[in-house]
Each structure stands twice: as C-alpha cells, then as structure tokens.
Amino acid sequence: MTITIKTPLPGPKAREAMARDARVISQSYTRDPQAPVVVERAQGVWVTDVDGNTFLDFAAGIAVCATGHCHPQVVAAIEEQARKLIHISGTDFFDPTQAALAERVTALVPGDFPKRVFFCNSGAEAIEAALKLARYKTRRQYVLAFTGAFHGRTYGAMSLSASKTVHRTRFGPLVPGIIHVPYPYCYRCPFHLERTSCSLACLDYIQETVFRKQVDPQEVAAVFIEPIQGEGGYVPAPDDFLQGLRQLTAQHGILLVVDEVQSGIGRTGKMFAFQWADIEPDVICLAKGIASGLPLGITIYRSDERDWGPGAHANTFGGNPLACAAAQATLDLVENSLLNNVNAVGPYIGQRLFDLAEEYPIIGDVRGRGFMLGAEIVAPQGTKTKDKEGRDTLTRLCYEHGLIILGCGENTVRFAPPLILTPEEAKLGLDVFATAVQQVARRG
Ligand SMILES: Cc1ncc(COP(=O)(O)O)c(C=O)c1O
C-alpha cells in the first residue's frame, strides 16, 4: 500500500460523517478541526477514510496500535477467544486468561520481589488504582506528581495531571493532597540551568524545598512519574534523574509509581521506558499499546503484607478475556520481532529529525527514544519562542499529504507510529514531514 489522496480533504463523505457526529457526540473531544480523519478501516500502518483516501499512520490511534491496525495474529487471538468466552467478571469469578496474563506481565518487570496485577480498562483507571493502592498500603495521604504530567481524566488521574489547565477548569475541587513539582524538562529547564552542570536541581527541589518546607516525607505515599512525558510534549526524564528519584523515594518508604501507559510495551525500544534507567519501580501502570487497541489497563505492584484486601478495589470489565487474548498476541509480537524493529528503525527516524533540526531552526529540540520521538517547533530566531501555530500548520500540511501525525504539549509534533513500521514506510513519512517543515520554515 501507499499514500493515496483522491479527494479534497476532508472528502464529501467525511464532511457528511462529521456533520452527523457534531450533532450527537460530546463536544469535549479534541479532534483537530484542521486535520480531520474519518476512518472506515485500517490495516498495518495504513488508515483508509470513508472517501477511500489512504493515509500513513504515524500516530497509531494515540500511541495505541502497537502491532499496527488489525494485525492478523491479534485478530486471530481475539476470534478464537470470542468463540470460547467473552465476559466473566474477574471480580467475582476466576478467569484463567487473567492469571496467565498476570504471570506473563509480572515476569517482564524487573525486581526480585513478589508482584501482583490489578486489571482495568484504561490508563486513567490504572493510575486511579495505583493512587488508591499507594494511600492504602502506606496509610499516608500526600502524593507527588510533576508539572507537565498527564495521567488521565478521572478525578484522581486528573488531579495528578498538570499539563493543560483546560483538563481541570471548572472541575474543582480536585483530589486533595497532591503536590506538583518541576519535571526535568531540560530544553526548558524550570530552574534555567544547563543540563551539563545542573546537578539535578529538580531532585534537590524535592529534597530541599518540598520535604523540608512543605511536607514531611514520612507523610508521602507515592511519587507518580512518566519516564517520558506524553501529552506534556514527549519530554524524557534523564536517566540519572530517575535513578536519583528511585533512591530518594526508597529512602523515605515512598512508592515510586511509573506511568508507562504511553511509553510502555516496546515503544521506546525496551519493554518499559524506565528500563533505560535501570531502576525497579514499586508500581507500573500500563494501558494503550498492551492489547493493540482493545481496552485494557494494568497496574502491576510490588506485593507485601500491606496489600489491600477483598472489596477494597474492583471493577466489572477489567481484564476482559478478549483484551487478555489480544495482550498475549501483542506481547508475542513485541518480544519476538517488534522490539528489534523499533531499535532498527527508531535511530533512522531520530537521525532524520536531527538532520532536519540542523537545517531548519524552527525545530528547536528533538528528543525521545525509539518510536516515541518529539520535535519541538519554535520561532526561527533561536529564542526558543514556542510556535504553536507553526506546529499546527505542520500537522495540517502532513495530513494534506497523507501523513497522520499528532501534536502534543503546546508546540511539539509527536512521532508514535505502530511498532511494525518498516524502513521504507519510515522514509516515506519523514519525506512528507520534511516537505511540510520546509513549507513552514519558508512562511517567514
Ligand atoms: C502517560 C499517560 N497516562 C495515562 C493516560 C490516560 O489513559 P486513558 O486515556 O486510557 O485513560 C494517558 C493517555 O493519553 C497517558 O498518555
């Protein structure tokens, strides 16, 4: 397959579908009005709209379709499971598909200690479970999270998030006891320092300011962190920061909760992004890529004598047999071939972006790992002035030329293709992106 745009975009059927949608669907969704894709079907890295236009997909839903759209092995696993059992609530009944998946995912997580799994249906729910568990286990009420964080839309997850005010406006009061601290966003250091000489001022801030002036660390249940901030702008935390945070939390009996909802399941070239820093978190939250598009959230936690008991937390649908089957097929693919693919093709995408940044100063920063890369768009004068309009024009131009690509943060373009992307497909997408960059740069 290749990119095929046959109609003006959006095409006539797409316009009709959008008008229908606008009458009945919640207005709270953030579909890009500049680059609307009305999807009819998708296969691999190719998305076909209702007018028969085919786009190359560098977004994978929102970093969800790890194995590409409708991978035959995933489809077969779902079909086979659907003939046997579609639902039996794991809360009240025993479902061996859940235990099998729990055994598999806990075995993937580093750390020589017992681990257990809580199943749910989304990233926000996986975070919600982690928040409740952390307070339950430690009997402490305070929690630290980072500016720029996005953990989801439910009350707990929203209260932990601090990436855009629109996510919180008019929803207060939020969950109390959450303290936000600066994230190590090195391109825009919150302390205006240089990475080479900063001595991890953001870690010092937690120690010296939060733990001495705001809250006794003995009252802190957990620290929540995305190893690479997702919605906040594809911003990776330096490895030594994650290592320092692990040390600091362990020192005070604080649980380290790593949100791998977007960065997990091979996207960065390791199964989990925190593995680049070689740390052992206490709690890991997964969703998005784990079941290749079926709803599944997983909270994996270090199990000990403080664990919660029957009735403390549960849900009806979590760990649905179809989602568990899709997750098993996804993990087979990721382990057997896709991790290798990310490590082979990811550096090519990264290099192309670095080369573009050299040529076009509107790309102020290129960052991330594997297939989780961000390009931050700025004014060309070298002032790091955020150019949201330029970023939006870029994603629109890509769309017009048949490449689906999403923004994140205020002014960043994110590269989050399915993990099956071949070198040829990567080149095709980057050629489209490069042409769009050239056009935006020439805009003056
Ligand atoms: C890092 C991270 N955590 C949590 C969530 C929330 O996941 P969901 O939308 O499935 O609730 C997201 C969603 O974008 C995310 O990127």
**pLDDT reported for residue 34:** 83
Distance CA 332, CA 340 (A): 13
CA pair distance 65, 419, nearest whole angstrom: 8
Q: What are phi and psi of 378, to 5 degrees?
A: -135, 170
140: left (phi over 0), alpha (psi -120 to 50) or beta: beta
**Predicted confidence (pLDDT) at residue 199 exceeds the cutoff of 90:** no
Q: How far apart are CA 47 and CA 59, in angstroms?
A: 11
Q: What is the mean pLDDT of residues 397-422?
A: 98
Token pair listed for 74: 């995933």
Task: Using the Cα atoms of residue 358, residue 359, residue 361 and residue 362 in order, give the sign of their dihedral.
Answer: negative
Is it the case that residue 32 has pLDDT exceeding 90?
A: no
Placement of tokens 């990721």 in the chain: 334
Max alpha carbon distance in the chain (Å)?
63
CA geometry: angle 45, 105, 87, nearest 5 deg? 80
pLDDT at 142: 98
User: Cα(152) to centroid of ligand 1, in Å?
Assistant: 5
How is the chain split into domains, by residue range? Answer: 73-333
Query: The whole model's pTM is what?
Result: 0.98
The model's confidence at residue 219, banded by pLDDT at 50, 70 and 90, is very high
**Cβ-Cβ contacts under 8 Å for 57 (sequence gap 6 or more):** 42, 45, 46, 47, 65, 69, 404, 417, 418
Classify residue 394 as exposed, middle or buried by CB count within 10 Å of its CB (0-12, 13-18, 19+): buried
Q: Which ligand 1 atom minimizes the distance to the CA of 295?
A: 10
Ligand 1 atom, smallest distance to 287 CA? 10
Q: Which among 265, 270, 272, 284 has a CA at the least distance from the CA of 331?
A: 265
Could you give the CA distance from residue 321 to residue 97 in angstroms, rounded to a whole number?
6
Report the CATH number of the 73-333 domain.
3.40.640.10
- Residue 261 Cβ < 6 Å to ligand 1: yes
Decide whether any atom of ligand 1 lies within 6 Å of the 231 Cβ. Answer: yes
Each residue's pLDDT tens digit, 162-183: 999 999 999 999 999 999 999 9
Please tell me if the CB atom of residue 124 comes closer than 6 angstroms to any atom of ligand 1. yes
Task: Give the confidence band of 423 by pLDDT, cuts at 50, 70, 90.
Answer: very high
| Strand bridging mode 283-286 / 255-259 | parallel
Q: Are 375 and 353 in contact (CB under 8 A)?
A: yes
Residue 173: count of CB within 10 angstroms of its CB: 7
> For residue range 261-314, what is the model confidence (pLDDT) as tens digits?
999 999 999 999 999 999 999 999 999 999 999 999 999 999 999 999 999 999
Which residues neighbour 224 within 8 Å (Cβ) at sequence distance 6 or greater? Answer: 127, 130, 131, 143, 144, 145, 146, 149, 151, 160, 257, 259
Whether ligand 1 lies within 6 angstroms of the CB of 396 is answered as: no
- CA-nearest residue for atom 7, ligand 1, is 123
Percent of the chain scoring above 90 in pLDDT: 97
Q: What is the pLDDT of residue 444?
A: 63
For residue 327, what pLDDT is reported? 98
Q: Give the model confidence (pLDDT) of 355-406 as tens digits.
A: 999 999 999 999 999 999 999 999 998 899 999 999 999 999 999 999 999 9
For residue 235 and ligand 1, the question of a CB distance below 6 A is answered with no
Residues of the chain with pLDDT > 70, as a percent, come to 100
262 Cα–ligand 1 center, Å: 7
What is the rounded CA–CA span in Å between residue 322 and residue 84?
Answer: 10
Q: Which two tokens stand for residue 38?
A: 């009305």
Q: What is the rounded CA–CA span in Å between residue 133 and residue 131?
A: 5
Q: Is the CB of 295 under 6 A from ligand 1?
A: no
Give CA–CA dist 280/282, Å, rounded: 7
Q: Which two tokens stand for residue 67?
A: 């194995």
